[in-house]
Amino acid sequence: MDARCSAPLLSAARAADIAANPFVADFPLLAARPDIAYLDSAATAQRPAAVIEAEARFYETMNANPLRGLYGLSVEATAALEEARATFARRVGAADPREIVFTRNATESLNLVAKTLGEQLLSEGDEVCISILEHHSNLIPWQQICARTGATLVWLYPDAEGHFSPEEIEAKIGPATRIVSIAQVSNVLGVETPVAAIAERAHAMGAILIVDGAQAVSHLPVAVQELGCDLYAFSAHKALGPFGVGALWGRLELLESMPPFLTGGEMIDSVTQEGAVWAPVPEKFEAGTQDAAGIYASAVGLTYLEEVGLEAIAAREEALTTLLMGELAKLEGVSVLGPCDPAEHHGVVSFDVAGIHPHDVASLLDAKGVAIRAGHHCAQPLLAWLGHPSVNRASVAFYNDADDVMQLVDGLKFVQEVFHGSR
Amino acid sequence: MGAADLYTPALLEHVQHPDYNFALDDATHVHEGVNPSCGDDLTVHARVGEDGRIAEVSWTGEGCAVSKGSADMMADLMVGLTPAEAKELCNTFGELVRGELAPDEAEEELDEAACLASIAHMPARVKCAELAWRTLDEMLDGASSPSTTEDGSERPR
């Protein structure tokens, strides 16, 4: 991949100075729209110029259909794809680039696993264990496969802050459990789940552990070997890459034992009128032409994150979250969901404003240039369990600054004035 | 500034001090309207008198300010109309909030409900404004399953 993205290189201490914003110049949208406080990075990240330019550079200088390398240009396109695979592998600490399967997004990665491994492993009497924190993408595929195979879906419940007890893990993951699938970071509460402890229990019970890393990859130094999971799904667009690129990491021997997902071109070694021989992993799971330009640009996004450094990112996001939660605590009627400690939020702060529906909050904030998410956040069972049909969610990234947070806080005062005070 | 125009004192007055937020004991029609993704869940009640005209409309339930304020404004406008006239007014309101009708063309008929015209610039909220109206419209047609103004699509996480 490209040697450098020229991301600002700052110590964690310098990055935590949220009065300054050394990153904004690298993000064309943020530079072009200084009026907007973009606080919806948990939905999708803004993209640095390096990523946007990389996508164009692929088409301008190396565009050809990869994997059919009978001429130089196609060889170059293939090399770009494979270098990107190595970058993805490095990002999650994979032992071998062949353990990275490209998909369209984390949702497709999770569907791939449910449809292949789920079909292969599950039958009546078996259990699939997920948690109440799950995004619909790590829930509906399992509901569906359980309905088809007769397996039972079992739910892990945390405490009010989002923490899972060892007793809950032991009670819900047992001898009947064949598959455990859990988010590493909740897209609503921001809390990190105890993946290593869940991995230990799951493996002791002979179950496979899948982790939905969609909200983790841009915040945490993910190392799949240390986490102890067997499969790991994530999306590039939450980690500075373009839309439409995702990945599935899996232990090589596990991926090799799984049946294919989509079938067709690129995923076969040979085909006869009677049948086909699958290509080796990862091509076995990559039917059809891949978004090579998007994958190439996604790797540049991951490289940009690496250059900024996850330590610096964590320090800056913690400073932003600390400011935000401190200011929200001063507002009457505003309550934050999830952990009390800002360091546990990974940039995600969901909150309720007493007496004002989140959609009214978000619409009025929009009038003040503040972009937040409001609704059920594709986690309806979680919100029902929490007793809120919908909530507000502000999510920060390292390219935000203190002004963005204060624009939200001032915006919330305006919302409360509209509803409760004189204008 | 679309949103600031939308949350007018008139709308908020209907939200905070609604005139028609109660169940009707002698309703001839009761129908639920639900937008599951918002959590908006309103029930519209109506009594059609022996003269064939709507004598009273009310609403109960929970939702955002736009859905509740819109329901309260609607209840006021429906009294004295025949079901056919009421359905026609629901249609006019739908056209207004979808931006298919200029606010000044609807002001006479829709009175202060015409202030919701600015929601046409906020596509995600049109369904909130329309919920009570669609529910009344389908109720007058004798609908049995709950009404909705959602297309069922989800937003990104």
User: Could you state, in order of their start, the residue ranges of all structural domains in chain A?
Assistant: 12-39+309-420, 55-306
**What would the CATH number be for the domain defined by B2-140?**
3.90.1010.10
Residues of B with CB below 8 A from A363's CB?
A: 2-3, 6-7, 66, 122, 125
Considering CB atoms only, which of B6, B65, B157 is closest to A43? B157
Question: Do A419 and B155 lie within an 8 Å CB cutoff?
Answer: no
Residue pair A18/A396 in contact (Cβ under 8 Å)? The answer is no
B37 touches A: beta carbon within 8 Å: yes
How many other CB atoms are there within 10 angstroms of residue A75's CB atom? 15
**What kind of fold does domain A12-39+309-420 have according to CATH?**
Aspartate Aminotransferase, domain 1 (3.90.1150)
- Model pTM score: 0.93
Residue B131 clears pLDDT 90, i.e. is over it? yes
Class of domain A55-306: alpha beta
B155 touches A: beta carbon within 8 Å: yes
pLDDT in tens, B37-95: 778 899 999 999 999 999 999 999 999 999 999 999 999 999 999 999 999 999 999 99
Q: For chain A, give the longest Cα–Cα distance.
A: 77
Q: Closest residue of A to B1, CA-based? A: A367
How many angstroms away from the CA of A114 is the closest CA of chain B? 20
Q: Closest residue of B to A377, CA-based? A: B157
Residue pair A142/A130 in contact (Cβ under 8 Å)? The answer is yes
Q: Confirm whether A378 is a catalytic residue.
A: yes
- Helix, strand or coil, per DSSP, at residue A134: coil
First vs last C-alpha separation in chain B: 26
What's the order of all strands across the beta sheet hosting A246-250?
Answer: A100-103, A246-250, A231-235, A208-212, A177-183, A127-131, A152-156
Question: Do A366 and B3 lie within an 8 Å CB cutoff?
Answer: yes
Residues of B with CB below 8 A from A372's CB?
A: none
ipTM summary value:
0.88
pLDDT in tens, A381-407: 999 999 988 999 999 999 999 999 999
Cα–Cα dist A232/A1, whole Å: 23
Residue pair A252/A96 in contact (Cβ under 8 Å)? The answer is yes
How many angstroms away from the CA of A392 is the closest CA of chain B? 12
B142 touches A: beta carbon within 8 Å: no
Per-residue pLDDT of chain A (423 residues; tens, 9 = 90+): 455 788 988 999 999 999 999 999 999 999 999 999 999 999 999 999 999 999 999 999 999 999 877 899 999 999 999 999 999 999 999 999 999 999 999 999 999 999 999 999 999 999 999 999 999 999 999 999 999 999 999 999 999 999 999 999 999 999 999 999 999 999 999 999 999 999 999 999 999 999 999 999 999 999 999 999 999 999 999 999 999 999 999 999 999 999 999 999 999 999 999 999 999 999 999 999 999 999 999 999 999 999 999 999 999 999 999 999 999 999 999 999 999 999 999 999 999 999 999 999 999 999 999 999 998 889 999 999 999 889 999 999 999 999 999 999 999 999 999 998 754
Question: Do A363 and B1 lie within an 8 Å CB cutoff?
Answer: no
Question: Do A423 and B64 lie within an 8 Å CB cutoff?
Answer: no
B122 touches A: beta carbon within 8 Å: yes
A211's CB contacts (< 8 A; 6+ apart) are: A181, A182, A183, A184, A195, A224, A227, A229, A231, A232, A233
Q: What is the DSSP letter of A84?
A: H
Q: What is the DSSP letter of A192?
A: B
How many angstroms away from the CA of B20 is the closest CA of chain A? 19
How many angstroms away from the CA of A364 is the closest CA of chain B? 5
